[in-house]
Amino acid sequence: MTALLETRGLKAFYGDFQALFGVDISVAEGETIAIIGANGAGKTTLMRAISGVLASDPDAILCRGEPIGALAAPDVLASGIAMVPEGRRLFPSLTVEENLLIGAYSRKVGPTWTLESVYELFPVLRERRSNPATALSGGQQQMVAIGRALLSNPDLLLCDEISLGLAPVVVRDIYAAFPRIRASGASIVIVEQDIGQALKVASRVYCMMEGRITLCGRSSELNRDQIHAAYFGAERHGLH
Amino acid sequence: MSIAIPSFKVETGTRASSFSALIGAAVLVLAVAVPFLVPRGAVQDLFFILTMLVLAQSWNLLAGYAGLISVGQQVFVGFGAYTMFGAVILFGIDPIVATLIAGLFAALLAVPTALFTFRLYGPYFAIGTWVVAEVVRLLLAQWKALGGGTGTSLPREATRDMAGVGLLRDHFGMKAAEASDALTYWLALVLAAATIGLIYRLLRSKQGLGLAAVRDNEQAARAVGVDARRMKALVYLTTAFLTGLAGALIYVQKARISPDAAFSVTDWTAYVIFIVVIGGIGTIEGPIVGVILFFLLQNLLSDYGSWYLLMLGLVGILIMLFAPRGLWGAFSDRTGIQLFPVRRMLVGDPLAHTPKGGPHG
Amino acid sequence: MGFIDTIVQGVLLGGLYALFAAGLSLVFGIMRLVNLAHGDLIVLAAFLLLVLVTGLGVHPFLAAVVAAPLMFGAGWSLQYVLLNRTLGKDVLPPLLVTFGLSIVIQNSLLEGFSADSRRISAGVLETASIGFGPVTVGFMPLMGFLSAVAVIVGLNLLIYRSAIGRAFRATSDDTVTAGLMGIRPQRIFAMATGIAMVVVTIAALYLGTRANFDPTAGPARLIYAFEAVIIGGLGSLWGTLAGGVILGVAQSLGAAVNPEWQILAGHLAFLAVLLIKPRGLFPRAVD
């Protein structure tokens, strides 16, 4: 069976600086995976490459076996991959509701997600629908960013560092929505620095370090030392 | 254990630049002798080239180095020219002295002008400078003593009795008209050489480094202590002074002025921008290449009137799109040759001085 | 009554200036591009109308209906093919390319139509006027002003009430994230310039029927448009209308004192506003 998303030897560059050195990951239909790693490990670069913000080789990224590596962001979205970008990146000139609606700008057929169902998922947004998006709290803004991505009815949702800078209780509220997102049939990739949170949500985990995958396995089967080694690197592990 | 300190040197010179200094000196000597060697028409052509070069170098400094894109530099040409006319006609001052006064007045005018235009952001600054030029043009068109909207001429005796003309007439047997052409030509030569020298020195100085920093990233430059506003204001005043001098000099030679001609956006800004863009913006060599090319085109094609201008516009657009660093930029990228090197280069190899093994050992 | 009449004529003239300015303001708001050929595009549209009116013998209003989609297409292509290539961090390329474009348009028009000044005949409407108590206003100037109001209402509805308007604002905020939403910024920019050219056509209709124009009339229109935008404050279309009116009234008052001072009075009003309120009279909070 072909994976929903697969990367094969994915490399990425910022000018002359190489940020990814041959990354291989795969996501099956309906699966939730997590990508963990320290700051600068290349997680966000990986998300930017998959979503089409950074160009890569056509065959380095496949969606249901089709090469999408060279596609621009709007075309990647059209093939069913939506992104919740790091730092939320809401549009400050738009209200909460307009931010959500912009997610449906070029929606595919089959409206699993509507404004109404997003408001059911995050009821607080309904109350604040007419506020400027930037007037919301960090957690609420994150909800808008997730709802905005859902309104494109994605097959795959990429969530880049959605718990960054949020209080634990707020993070819990946001992750509480994940079972319903999964129930809609979407696969999910979460990028997390919080290993505990990642292991709880995802069935499989990839760990990245310095632009490479250093560990991959089922969340239930990985032990603490393995993750620690993959996260911080083997040599430095000994220094601690 | 000792740490070897890598020995770096910061250099801006290249081999081509010392060579070009020699060539430059030879060209300068030859250029000084020109009025004795060639007919009067050629002297006038060279005068035109030199004055356009001054305008182009000034605009290049302003736009290419300080990032202040003005489409209103004609205000300083026109104001300089009118100041010179005013000084000659109303006060009987010698045209050459009046030209110097005109440069100063143009710089003075830049103060209130900057007060308005510096309030406008980037692209709007451009149109703001244009409005200011229109305002000054309309105001001067009201000045009846200098001919109002129709303009006026310099009195014939003013240029004939210019300082130095008599000397040339007596010692070299030149006719008055010939002598005044030679004189204005020499002044243009001095002005062009001084302008290039001034800009070259400015760009190689600490201020020049600050200027480059401001152009590349104003906020970052401010963060490391470069006073961006002051730098820009300084460049704006300097270019106003140079442009005013050139404007006055041009009109000493033309000897007839009108507001529409002296404040012409085509003659003093569009052509100048074309020269800089085609030659290579942000380089000193660019305007030199550009002005020569422009002069050739002007002579070959200016009879075609609006077709000629249309073509200049199209060529400018194409250069901007496909070779944004202009002809000189493309040449320099390919050959590495710089005649006026202002980029700083680190000379010395850090690895040659460190013991083997990377920093992480 | 002369004074009130002067003010009223100035207000109506201001409507025309607001029409000149609305397209400039729209394009700047969305892509931070200042099109130095904006005035020449207005004049180009006026010549297009002239050709349609004289060639097909249709009424100028009908000619504008025909010309608007043509100008939309021209604007769309101009942006998509040429101007999009110049957009980026550096403000120099778009300015210089549009400056070159201004020269190209002016001289093409000079070649095609000579330097003679022209006028588009609006037939009987040209002399028609309506009396409001002591003041009589011409039908065409009044229509021009009402059109300016209609254009601004229309653009505000488009920007704040439609899906394309949301995409405009989102792209203006953040083009990268807009791309993640499926928005193609290049097409959004092309669409914005296309719409600006429709407004330019409407402006050209009233420019051409109100007074004489010639191929070199563009730069002055650009300057009036720019002054209206700055007086009103960036980012607010109603501010632009107010800016146009202030400029129109200033010119009208100047002309009443001495016809030679019309343009100068407008510029001086602009400079005064710039000195006292550099961000314009009605600026939007951010920008």
Q: Do C111 and B306 touch (CB under 8 A)?
A: yes
**pLDDT for res B347:** 55
Q: Is residue B83 part of a domain?
A: yes
Chains near C (3 or more Cβ pairs under 8 Å): A, B
Read off the pLDDT of residues C184-228 as tens digits, 9 standing for 90 and up: 999 999 999 999 999 999 999 999 998 899 999 999 999 999 999
Q: How far apart are CA C90 and CA C97, in angstroms?
A: 12
pLDDT at site B355? 40
The residue range of the domain holding A69 is 5-237
> For residues B240 and B106, what is the distance between their CA atoms, to the nearest angstrom?
6
Can you tell me the distance from the alpha carbon of A122 to that of A117, in angstroms, rounded to the nearest whole number? Answer: 9
Dmax (CA) for chain A in angstroms is: 54
Contact with chain C for residue A148, Cβ under 8 A: yes
Residue A27 burial class via C-beta count within 10 angstroms: exposed 0-12, middle 13-18, buried 19 and up: buried
Residue B163 lies in a domain: yes
Q: Cβ neighbours of residue A152 under 8 Å, at least 6 residues apart? A: A77, A82, A103, A104, A105, A106, A107, A108, C181, C182
Instruction: Give the residue among B85, B137, B144 at the shortest CA–CA distance from B109.
Output: B137
* Residue B361 to residue B310: CA distance in whole angstroms: 64
Using the Cβ of C91 and the Cβ atoms of chain B, whether some distance falls under 8 Å is answered with: yes
Check CB contact of C179 with chain A, cutoff 8 Å. yes
Spatial distance between the Cα atoms of A20 and A25, rounded to a whole number of angstroms: 13
**β-sheet with A156-160: strand ranges across:** A81-84, A156-160, A187-192, A32-37, A204-209, A212-218
pLDDT at residue number B222: 76
- Measured between beta carbons, the chain C residues lying within 8 angstroms of A107 are 182
Please check whether residue B188 lies inside any domain of the structure. yes
B and A in touch (3+ CB pairs within 8 angstroms): no
- C92 reaches B (C-beta below 8 A): yes
- Which residue in A has a C-alpha nearest to residue C180's C-alpha? A73
Q: Is residue B4 part of a domain?
A: no
C183–A152 CB contact, under 8 Å = no
pLDDT at B357: 37
Contact A208, A46 (CB under 8 A): yes
- A102: closest CA of chain C, how far (Å): 7
Q: Which of C166, C172, C182 sits opposite A101 (nearest CB)?
A: C166
The answer as to whether B228 is a domain residue is yes
Q: Is B220 on the interface with C (CB under 8 A)?
A: no
Closest to A161 in 3D by CA, of A61, A26, A48: A48
pLDDT at C191: 97
Residue A236 has pLDDT above 90, yes or no: no
Residues with Cβ < 8 Å from A174, sequence gap 6 or more? A139, A142, A143, A146, A162, A163, A166
State the sign of the Cα–Cα–Cα–Cα dihedral C127, C133, C135, C137.
Answer: negative
What is residue B61's DSSP assignment?
I
Please give the Cα distance from C169 to C173 (Å, whole number).
Answer: 6
Angle between helices C38-56 and C185-210 (to 10 degrees): 60
Q: Structural domain tally of chain A?
A: 1
Q: What is the pLDDT of residue B9?
A: 60
Our count of domains for chain B comes to 1
- Of A7-21, A164-178, B166-180, C82-96, least confident by mean pLDDT is B166-180
Mean pLDDT for A135-164 is 95
Query: Residue A16 sits in a domain of what CATH number?
Result: 3.40.50.300
CATH number at residue B341: 1.10.3470
> Does B127 contact C226 at a Cβ distance shorter than 8 Å?
yes
Angle formed by the axes of helices B326-335 and B285-301, to 10°? 130
Q: Report how far residue C163's alpha carbon sits from residue C172's, in angstroms, rounded to the nearest whole number.
A: 14
Give the H/E segment covering residue A31. Answer: none
Structure tokens at C269: 């009003």
Dig out the tokens for B283 from the structure: 């380089």
Compute the Cα dihedral for A80, A85, A88, A91 and give only its sign.
Answer: negative
pTM of the model: 0.90
pLDDT of residue C286: 44
Task: Calculate the dihedral angle through the C-alpha atoms of C94, C95, C100, C103, rounding to the nearest 10 degrees.
Answer: 130
Q: Is C110 on the interface with B (CB under 8 A)?
A: yes
* Residue-by-residue DSSP string for A70-129: T--HHHHHHTTEEEE-TT----TTSBHHHHHHHHTTTPPSS-S--HHHHHHHSHHHHHTT
Mean pLDDT, chain C, rounded, equals: 93
Inform me whether the C-beta atom of residue C285 falls under 8 Å from chain A C-beta atoms: no
CA B331 vs CA B60, B324, B338, B340, C45: distances in Å: 18, 12, 9, 14, 41
Please say whether the beta carbons of A151 and A115 come within 8 A. Answer: yes
With CB atoms and an 8 Å threshold, state whether C267 touches B324: no
How would you write the pLDDT of chain B (361 residues) with one tens digit per residue?
455 555 566 666 666 677 777 887 888 888 888 888 888 889 999 999 999 999 999 999 999 888 899 999 999 999 999 999 999 999 989 999 999 999 999 999 999 999 999 988 778 899 899 999 999 999 999 888 888 888 899 888 887 777 777 788 778 877 878 888 889 999 999 999 999 999 999 888 887 777 877 777 777 777 777 788 888 899 999 999 999 999 999 999 998 999 999 999 989 999 999 999 999 998 899 999 999 999 999 888 878 888 999 999 999 999 999 988 899 988 888 887 777 877 665 555 444 443 433 334 3
